[in-house]
Amino acid sequence: MRATITDNHRRVPVEHLDYGYIKKCEDRKYLEEILRVLRSGEEGLYPDLIKFCESHLEKLYPQSRALRMDTPVGTAASLSEDEWSQIIDELETWQGETKKAENSLKWQSVIGDQVKKSMPAVRGLNCFVPLAQESPPKQRPNPSKRALPRDYREWDKFDVEEECEKIDENANKNDPPVTVKPRISTHVDTSFLSQQEKLLLANREKDKGNDSFRAHDYEEAVVYYSRSLSIIPTVPAYNNRAQAEIKLKHWTNAMRDCQKVLELEPRNMKALLRRATVYNHKGSYQEAAEDLRTVLMEEPQNVIAVKLLSQIEKKMKECQPEPQQKGKKLLIEEVEEEDPDGGDDKEIQQGACPVQPSQLVGGEESRATPAERGDMGNAQKKPHSKVDEGPHSETNNSHHHGHHHHHHWRHRGGSSDKYKVSHEPKEKVANGSSKRGSAASDHGDHSSNGKEAPVGGNAAETVNLDAPCGALPPPLARLKNEGNLLFRNGQFADALEKYSQAIQGYADSGIDSPEDLCILYSNRAACYLKDGNSQDCIQDCTRALELQPFSLKPLLRRAMAYESLERYRKAYVDYKTVLQIDISVQAAHDSVNRITRLLIEQDGLEWREKLPEIPMVPLSAQQHRREEPPCAEVLQARAEKAARDAERKAEAHYSAQKQKGNDLVKKGQYQDAVGKYTDCLKLKPDECAIYTNRALCYLKLEKFSEAKQDCDAALKLEPTNKKAFYRRAMANKGLKDYLACSSDLQEVLHLDPKVQEAEKELEEVTMLLRQRSLVNASPAKARKTVPITEVKDDEDVKAVPPSHNGDITGISFHPTNAYAFGQFLNIASSSGNTAACAKLLASTAPEVLPQFVGSHLDGHTISFIMRTLDSHLLEKDPGLVYQHLSHLHKADRFSVVLMLLEKDERHHMTQLLERLSETESSEFTKDDVHNLANKYI
């Protein structure tokens, strides 16, 4: 049959793959073959034709195997919640049974015959059976050779004890002795390994420890972590071994490993958290709290640290002795014994401990309602553990335990009945009252008519069960107060019954007080939540919200019930609504973060689209729950975070603009690049690289003045930036200031002699300077006209002395032009008279020195001026020397002449600059002299 089908499949022509042919075809098998060809895609993909063929085949033969479709794999989305939960439970049961079976096989004392000699021991097995030799193959017994039956007389001679001994001897001979497997060594010899091999081996041993830890074999995990540490000590290995030691309750070893980690990495969060755990178990609560606060400063959302810190703080409060309050006066009055109300008053004995300010006489604490405290009570920590306006929060209950030791002296004898404490009656909101209207009760008004009941079995602390509760009638108010009392004592089923009776009585009484009914439903929902009845809790919370929309506690309890039923979308909506009402509910924040991760895993990145609509809370529902103004530390932290965010954004914008500018330069769009670099300088005006980049753009745009300004700004930020010197040289060349260009190029070569572009440019600029000097020295230059005036004989005429013998000490040097200065300088230089040159320089303003000396500047003249400044003016007036040197290098041809100086002349120049840098003066600093030296050396 298969051969026939294959043959038919080969003989299906293309013409038969047509609507008309398929519609007329009545052969079921041939239609199935056509459908297989269409599905295979050999002749192309035709979805509509495939559907048409399937529908036609279904009409002819609905039971055809070709019409059967593969069922997709079932997932959580395709199954109901009950079915999926049942599957998960069965898988967990199977996993547990498998683990038990594995453990039972793991610890068997004898290994079967299948164990080979070379097989390694099973990890974690404490014993193994060595095989001395291979077991011989089992021979099948020959059915023909069977033992003959014995005679009855032989049975009389049979010795049972002897045969048993033979069997035992054979068993001892055949069975090898069971030996205990030696423990794994915690040290690994790595003397023959390289560093890379050590690292690889250490990671391998650490991974083995991780596997053992996941298998809950903590002892073996410690061994493998120790082996890893013996190879290369690392922070992860110490941290992991500390966690394994904590699981084994080896607190000392865990503490030692945590200390090792903190020595290597002082701010390691895992080590701090684990050390806090060790401190907690050792009773060092203060040290544990410090470590946890350090962790929360770095990771405020660390759930484990928050939970552990709250537990430790609770323990610290319980262990902390109560402070003795000084200055609290008690008025003790003597009362007659026959007073009928005396037995119900709070009693106190002489010599008893003073009463705390927050504690009423007899151990009853003053409890403020949430309206008085201005917060939501215990909503942030355990919202479902408190009934509206009734049961006290757990933080208050911790004080009750602290006061138990004050109660052992009460009711010891009749003598104490003579004394009572008189105090001023205080107003307190009654249990169960709503915020809009609460009847005040007097704590001093006690009676013996049965209206007071003990709290938690404490005879000294009582609650008024007949306290008014809003608009509820007295019987219903008493039921509610009894429910609050039972809830606070942990009797949730009894409290639920009381609340149910109150709700039924409310319906029968016909009163109209939706706020009180909302509180009753909310309290009963808390009881349902405590008993694990999430479905009824959701119903009661929904009824409460219908009566009072956007009420905080019903929303929070319904969200918890939804979460317990794994209805994460509805729980998320309720938690978000709670945060709109009161942003300070930390439990809602934590739950939102947790459910967000679950929804992402369940629904993917489009999880928000599958959420129900989150209702908008009106402003009127938020006004009475305004967030308290943050403290100074919080404000400072927010300001620092805002500053960091602004700095991060500015840095990102700066990097983006700089990159855009660089890309535009590469494309040759220099004008646009200038705009990008200008934006960068607005963000970071002290960035040298931006100035040099913009200077390059200005050079390409032939804006030489702007380029020079940017290079000057860059050199102020980085005085040794060779790019800035080179680009300023190009700007000076464009401005035809060849002398300044030559000076900048020499600076570039001084910083980096290998810059070939600077060498080529310097040669070109030197040629341009020589051409300019030849043009200036040509005879075609226009002569100046000197006017000659006649003077009388009695007038003094100041003229340059014609004497050339060098004796010019008596002449007053006040040159007014370059010619007179040159004549005086030549006379002093030819005679070597440095004193006369000193007078000449002292009488010449530093600003005009480059103009006076530029026309006849040479190497000998520069050397003579340097020796004069060094020998005569440096000690008298160092400021004048600095001013002359600051202007002398600006003279024409100075850079060219500087290149032609001989070694001795350079030595005089260097010596002068060194002595000037060592001289103290208010007109210049040592750094100024060093910057000036770059112009000369």
Q: Which amino acid is at 864?
A: F
Calculate the CA 412 to chain-centre distance. 60
Task: Give the up-direction half-sphere exposure of residue 331: CA atoms within 13 A in the CB hemisphere.
Answer: 3
So what's the pLDDT on residue 792?
A: 44
Kindly indicate the confidence band of residue 817, based on its pLDDT and cuts at 50, 70 and 90: confident
Task: For 633-659, write each residue's pLDDT tens digit.
Answer: 778 888 888 888 888 888 888 888 999
Kindly indicate the confidence band of residue 432, based on its pLDDT and cuts at 50, 70 and 90: very low
Task: For 130-145, write each residue's pLDDT tens digit.
Answer: 444 444 555 555 555 5
Distance CA 218, CA 203 (A): 18
Q: How far is CA 71 from CA 63, 85, 253, 363, 396, in A?
A: 17, 21, 56, 70, 59
DSSP class of 135 = P
Kindly indicate the confidence band of residue 174, based on its pLDDT and cuts at 50, 70 and 90: low
Could you tell me which residues come within 8 angstroms of residue 686 by beta carbon, excluding any fewer than 6 positions away?
717
Q: Which amino acid is at 863?
A: S
So what's the pLDDT on residue 775?
A: 65
Question: Can you read off the two tokens belonging to residue 65?
Answer: 């195997």
Mean pLDDT of 541-570: 92
- Phi and psi at 853, nearest 5°, equal -95, -10
Helix (H) / strand (E) containing 422 = strand 419-422
- Phi and psi at 460, nearest 5°, equal -85, -20
Cβ atoms within 10 Å of 22's Cβ, excluding its own: 20
Task: For 201-224, write each residue's pLDDT tens digit.
Answer: 899 999 999 999 999 999 999 999
Kindly indicate the confidence band of residue 674, based on its pLDDT and cuts at 50, 70 and 90: very high
Mean pLDDT of 453-475: 67
Highest mean pLDDT: which range of 452-461, 618-627, 774-783: 618-627
So what's the pLDDT on residue 256?
A: 92
Kindly indicate the confidence band of residue 555, based on its pLDDT and cuts at 50, 70 and 90: very high
Residue 477, burial from CB neighbour count under 10 angstroms (0-12, 13-18, 19+): buried
So what's the pLDDT on residue 346?
A: 33
Could you tell me which residues come within 8 angstroms of residue 459 by beta carbon, excluding any fewer than 6 positions away?
407, 410, 411
Q: Using alpha carbons only, how large is the chain's radius of gyration in Å? A: 51
Rounded to 10°, the helix 303-319/285-298 angle is 150
Task: For 703-719, write each residue's pLDDT tens digit.
Answer: 999 999 999 999 999 99
Task: For 58-113, write each residue's pLDDT tens digit.
Answer: 888 888 888 877 666 777 777 888 888 889 999 999 998 998 888 777 655 433 44
Query: What's the chain's length in residues?
Result: 937
In contact, 344 and 446? CB cutoff 8 Å: yes
pLDDT surpasses 90 at 237: yes
Averaged confidence pLDDT in the chain: 75
Helix then strand then coil, in percent of the chain rounded to 5, is 60, 5, 35
So what's the pLDDT on residue 338?
A: 34
Could you tell me which residues come within 8 angstroms of residue 365 by beta carbon, excluding any fewer than 6 positions away?
358, 359, 396, 399, 400, 403, 461
Listed as own residue / partner, the contacts of 71-78 with beta carbons closer than 8 Å and 24 or more positions apart are: 76/602
Adjacent-strand bridge partners of 440 = 429
Cβ atoms within 10 Å of 896's Cβ, excluding its own: 17
Could you tell me which residues come within 8 angstroms of residue 925 by beta carbon, excluding any fewer than 6 positions away?
none
Adjacent-strand bridge partners of 452 = 464
Mean pLDDT of 808-817: 59
Mean pLDDT of 121-132: 48
Distance CA 367, CA 394 (A): 12
So what's the pLDDT on residue 148?
A: 62
